[in-house]
DNA sequence: CTGGGGAAGGGGCCC
DNA sequence: TGGGCCCCTTCCCCA
């Protein structure tokens, strides 16, 4: 794609192998009930050869051993991100005997990311185009979490390392850090509550349905579903809601506020989830778009920006487009390699210049399920 | 199928 | 410290 702009890797596959870099398979998260902040990272490393993983400190000193069957231990490895190039790389995965080891190429300061550079060739060999594309970008990949080296310790006793920086206290206020996910909190009690997301502890149980909650406030809110109580009333339409958040969302209907704007078209939405779904349509459209076509499908634009009025039969502005599209759909249906995505006739590709229908790009007729990760639009 | 509205759960901040 | 509150998210349903 734009490999020309990428930093020229000095290590090729052969180099990686020569240096014993072991490529671990990137798998979807094994536990769907992970906290979202973690699950969204979508990185779980599998260790096919061994049940232990040794972590080495700089100087090749064995730091500690992880049992990779233990998900709590394995999870931290998801924080290892692909480095944009060898310059940023500070971590190397290697195979030692039958164990997977990581060692630091450079000092890893608190707050630094763990960046491993698998190499573009490796990414391609793993058939991971997203990673390959990431590696092809000049800027560093955006990582949502910077892993503190201390977080690696997990349940290990904290032995102060010589040369280790003092515990987090930037900006005078002491910070309490979760040593599992490195999130920091201003108050210890907040950290304690937070730790329940890792431990799974749910101390508060509903006496009626036995459902358990991590926080008392959640249980109290939950009680309303049994009592049917809706304490929050919309003063405009007098509809009642069980929570302030839901009321607030509802109030946008009256105020007309639509905070979530599509960056690709003038469409706006009251709820983020609606924007997300809408953007997925753009994404699908983009994948099926012929490079010659105008970037915005008029059909999609029309739907988002000029929503149908209830009772109205159709939007006139779109009618001509629709005619084109349905014509094209009929044409395309007789052509090979269509049919998987039939649900979007309005988006069917017409080359405006030639007036002819365009075939989808080769092999773009993948199952729609594959669409699941449109790169999480900030 | 898309857009839109609501119910409910969950995480974190603040007093 | 922890309860209250806010925000965000997911899921579901309906037009
Ligand atoms: Zn944590
Ligand atoms: Zn209950
Ligand atoms: Zn109202």
Tell me the per-residue pLDDT of A229-268, one tens digit each, with 9 for 90 and over.
999 999 999 999 999 999 999 999 999 999 999 999 999 9
Tokens of A43: 């990185």
Q: Are A45 and A26 in contact, with CB atoms under 8 Å apart?
A: yes
* Of residues A128 and A208, more confidently modeled: A208
Distance in Å from C5's C1' to A163's CA comes to 42
Same topology between domain A179-227 and domain A233-291 = yes
| Of A64-78, A128-142, A214-228, A281-295, minimum mean pLDDT range | A128-142
CB proximity A338–strand B (7 Å threshold): no
C-alpha A235 to ligand 2 mean position (Å): 28
**Residues A233, A144: Cα–Cα separation, whole Å:** 37
List, in order, residues 6 or more apart from A252 with CB less than 8 Å away: A258, A259, A270
Note the ligand closest to the C-alpha atom of A199: 1
d(CA A110, CA A102): 17
Return phi, psi of residue A249, to 5°. -60, -40
Nucleic acid strand B within 7 Å of A189 CB = yes
- pLDDT for residue A80: 52
Question: DSSP of A267-288, one letter per residue?
Answer: -EESSHHHHHHHHHHHHHHHHH
Output the pLDDT for position A100: 40
Q: Which of A123-127, A181-185, A211-215 has the lowest mean pLDDT?
A: A123-127
Q: How far is the CA of A201 from the C1' of B10 (A)?
A: 13
Binned at pLDDT 50, 70 and 90, residue A338 comes out as: very low
* CB neighbour list of residue A359: distance below 8 Å, 6 or more residues apart: A332, A335, A337
Token representation of residue A27 = 């798998």
Distance CA A218, CA A224 (A): 10
Q: Which nucleotides of B are covered by protein (CB under 7 A)?
A: 1-15
* DSSP codes of every residue in A203-244: -EE-TTT--EESSHHHHHHHHHHHH----EE-TTT--EESSH
List, for residues A352-365, the tens digit of each pLDDT value. 222 222 222 222 22
Q: How confident is the model at residue A141 (pLDDT cuts 50, 70, 90)?
A: very low
In the predicted model, is pLDDT for residue A37 greater than 60?
no
DSSP A308: P
Give the pLDDT score at A148: 22
Considering chain A, what is the average pLDDT of its residues?
Answer: 52
Q: What is the pLDDT of residues A48-95, one digit of tens each?
A: 233 444 443 434 444 445 444 444 444 444 445 545 444 566 655 533
Closest residue, CA to C1' of B11 = A194
CA A257/CA A201 separation, integer angstroms: 39
Q: Where are the domains of chain A?
A: 179-227, 233-291
A196 Cβ contacts chain B strand, under 7 Å: yes
Q: What span, in angstroms and rounded, lies between the C-alpha atoms of A41 and A44?
A: 9
CATH number belonging to the domain at A233-291, selected among 3.10.450.50, 3.30.300.30, 3.30.160.60, 3.40.190.290:
3.30.160.60
pTM of the model: 0.43
pLDDT, one tens digit per residue, over A294-327 is 444 444 444 444 443 332 222 222 222 222 222 2
User: Tell me, which fold does domain A179-227 have in CATH?
Assistant: Double Stranded RNA Binding Domain (3.30.160)
Query: Would you give the end-to-end CA distance of chain A in angstroms?
Result: 23
């Amino acid at each position: 794609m734009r490999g020309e702009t990428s930093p020229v890797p000095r290590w090729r596959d052969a180099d990686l192998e020569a240096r014993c870099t072991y490529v671990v398979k990137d798998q979807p998260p094994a536990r769907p009930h992970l906290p979202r902040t973690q699950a969204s990272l979508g990185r779980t490393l599998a260790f096919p050869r061994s049940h232990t993983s040794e972590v080495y400190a700089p100087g090749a000193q064995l730091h500690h051993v992880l049992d990779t069957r233990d998900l709590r231990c394995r999870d931290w490895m998801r924080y290892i991100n692909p480095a944009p190039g060898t310059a940023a790389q500070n971590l190397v995965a290697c195979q030692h005997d039958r164990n997977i080891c990581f060692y630091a190429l450079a000092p890893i300061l608190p707050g630094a990311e763990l960046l491993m550079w698998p190499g573009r060739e490796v990414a391609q060999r793993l058939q991971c185009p997203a990673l390959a594309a990431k590696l092809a970008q000049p800027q560093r990949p955006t990582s949502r979490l910077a892993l503190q080296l201390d977080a690696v310790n997990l349940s290990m006793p904290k032995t102060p390392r010589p040369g280790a920086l003092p515990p987090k206290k930037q900006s005078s206020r002491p910070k309490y850090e979760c040593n599992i996910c490195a999130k920091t909190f201003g108050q210890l009690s907040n950290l304690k509550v937070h730790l329940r997301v890792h431990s799974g502890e749910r101390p508060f149980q509903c006496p009626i349905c036995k459902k358990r909650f991590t926080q008392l406030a959640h249980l109290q809110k939950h009680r309303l579903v049994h009592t049917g109580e809706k304490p929050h009333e919309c003063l405009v339409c007098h509809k009642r809601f069980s929570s302030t958040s839901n009321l607030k969302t509802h109030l946008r209907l009256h105020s007309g506020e639509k905070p979530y704007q599509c960056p690709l078209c003038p469409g706006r939405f009251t709820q983020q989830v609606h924007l997300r779904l809408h953007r997925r349509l753009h994404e699908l459209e983009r994948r099926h778009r012929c490079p010659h076509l105008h970037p915005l499908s008029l059909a999609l634009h029309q739907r988002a920006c000029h929503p149908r009025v209830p009772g109205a039969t159709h939007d006139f502005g779109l009618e001509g487009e629709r005619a084109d599209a349905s014509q094209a759909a009929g044409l395309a249906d007789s052509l090979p390699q269509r049919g998987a995505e039939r649900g979007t006739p309005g988006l069917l590709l017409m080359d405006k210049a030639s007036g002819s229908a365009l075939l989808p790009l080769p092999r773009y007729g993948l199952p729609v399920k594959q669409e699941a990760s449109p790169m999480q639009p900030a």
